[in-house]
Chain A
Amino acid sequence: MKTVISDERTQLLTGQLAIIFLVLTQVGLLGAILYRRYVLHIDEGNYNDLRIILAISVFGFIAAKILIGAHPPAIRPKLLLGIYIGFVVTMTIILSFWYGPPTLDNWHSTILPVLLGPALILGGYVALCRIAVQRQKKYESDD
């Protein structure tokens, strides 16, 4: 009989290790980006590729976890609204400290990203949760 070299335990272990090293890689990428920005003062355009890779990795992982996970997060509209407002207020305060208060003449690069960014993130989160719940419905029964 053929000797098995990989089974559910080793596959589970591989999955756990993959997640650990994924997170370490993401933290490393973030460190590399922050180092270039704040220590080396390199222009953002020179490391945009790192930012895109990190964004795809982080958001892709979260999206996959929500879609494929067996327990999609509960959606409470009031909590979502609170998180959105919190995002907007926090980003406005931080960006105002860095770049000064936003002005209406360049609203598309100051006010719009602050309003639209969190809306897109939270909207994407809500959409993924709805899709995940719909996927699970076919396994539910009332008997």
Chain B
Amino acid sequence: METDEIQNRVREARRIANLSQQDLADAVGVTRQTIGLIEANKYNPSIRICLKISAATGWELSDLFYISPEEQ
């Protein structure tokens, strides 16, 4: 059975943009802990937060967040 898993490259985008987790959190309007959980795939942010991360890092939304099918 295949299940879809939401993945992200937020950590990679953040580092390339030379932003700390706190910097990105401040730019997006969330806590640093939330950025950490997003990067660790422990929390799926709302589309509003996703768009703000996209604007803060300069990456396209589809490059930041994607669905990768997983085999079960």
- Across the interface, do B25 and A8 meet the contact criterion of CB distance under 8 Å? no
- Across the interface, do B49 and A8 meet the contact criterion of CB distance under 8 Å? yes
Report if B43 contacts A (CB, 8 A): yes
Taken together as a complex, chains A and B put the C-alpha atoms of A68 and B33 apart, in Å, by 29
Q: How large is the interface on A (under 10, 10 to 19, 20 to 34, 35 or more residues)?
A: 10 to 19
Taken together as a complex, chains A and B put the C-alpha atoms of A95 and B33 apart, in Å, by 55
Q: How large is the interface on B (under 10, 10 to 19, 20 to 34, 35 or more residues)?
A: 10 to 19
Taken together as a complex, chains A and B put the C-alpha atoms of A51 and B2 apart, in Å, by 48
Q: A-side binding surface: helix, strand, loop or mixed?
A: loop
**Chain B contacts of A1 at CB under 8 A?**
26-27
- Across the interface, do A5 and B31 meet the contact criterion of CB distance under 8 Å? yes
Report if A4 contacts B (CB, 8 A): yes
- Across the interface, do A7 and B22 meet the contact criterion of CB distance under 8 Å? no
Taken together as a complex, chains A and B put the C-alpha atoms of A4 and B33 apart, in Å, by 10
- Across the interface, do B30 and A7 meet the contact criterion of CB distance under 8 Å? yes
Report if B67 contacts A (CB, 8 A): no
**A4, A5, A6 — most chain B CB neighbours (10 Å):** A4
Report if A141 contacts B (CB, 8 A): no
Taken together as a complex, chains A and B put the C-alpha atoms of A1 and B24 apart, in Å, by 11
Taken together as a complex, chains A and B put the C-alpha atoms of A6 and B33 apart, in Å, by 10
Query: Could you list some 25 contacts between A and B, CB below 8 A?
Result: A2-B26, A3-B22, A3-B25, A3-B26, A3-B31, A4-B25, A4-B29, A4-B30, A5-B31, A6-B31, A7-B29, A7-B31, A7-B34, A8-B30, A8-B34, A8-B45, A8-B46, A8-B49, A9-B30, A9-B33, A9-B34, A9-B37, A9-B43, A9-B45, A10-B31
Question: Which residue numbers of A lie inside 8 Å of B, CB to CB?
Answer: 1-10
